[in-house]
Structure 1
């Protein structure tokens, strides 16, 4: 199968072998490659982290798709209970006193993606979306286990609270105030996730636990 290259003729800025020699491409890529990068350049608009976990991907996916496990591996999400809306859970984010967080899990078993659609203070618009994917390490690293990727996008609401009237107090810090710490904070949580999964798998314990046996609320 081939494409009609004439459809690209009017697209400005393309770099392809049709208009660039391998030497020019290598020089261009070298120019783009730095020894160090500012934090804002790497994590200012998108924050992606990844980790290898010594646990079968099917078990990792099954653990992540069950939202109550957020109470185990996240630093501050606790006390989740179902709301009156099917699939929507409400809990507390102990990062800030009195803060409610709402969450819906959207999971796709064939692709092993698990997305947490969340929001502080209200469950009508879930705009804080945590995108996670489980990848069989056998296919990408030629070893048993899993690779987990986790991406956040800087939604405009991170800049300004769209529902200030629903905050528990006027002086409560907004979740977007923590954006510059997302890489570090999410890395701490990814390390928690890795530790729990590997410990249970290596110890021959069930990786997933029922809600009643989850970390004490």
Structure 2
């Protein structure tokens, strides 16, 4: 699998997300130097590190900047670069397809890479890290995710009901997942259109915390200082 990026402020109460444990879920990696289906465990971390330290190419930066400005939940022109970096240091980023999925942009992952180990690794990571919310980047990715628990809530997006998925973490809490178009996709991706997705995730996490009187237990790695 690709090891997830875990920001140094992940789950900290004083981070820009108020301590909410958000996973940003991408689809897959492509690489022209490795065979499809091969492993590259550090690739995800290397890519996000490149954004944080400024070495990532301009085209690749757009995805990270768009996500940060959306998650900031404020007028996009007011989100500074330092705020965007702080947001990426407050989230987990993980690509669902756990192996190299293509040798170039625009190629779709082979069918077999969507299944097998992918859903199990995804569910295990959510549970291990006590993720509270998952922002899913992409419609095809959403359609390939495991179904989740029964009774997941819906919310309103553009005057229509939008379904979500729930995944188990430490009971009675559940991680809530909601999706948007991929920020790199065409078709006029707009902050105003997808802001309700992020607002819903924050509201659902706040509701669960209020119901239980506290946040879920901290991941063991944080308690151990890892």
TM over 0.5: no
Question: Which structure: greater strand fraction?
Answer: 1
TM score, norm. by length of structure 2: 0.27
Q: Which has the larger Rg?
A: 1
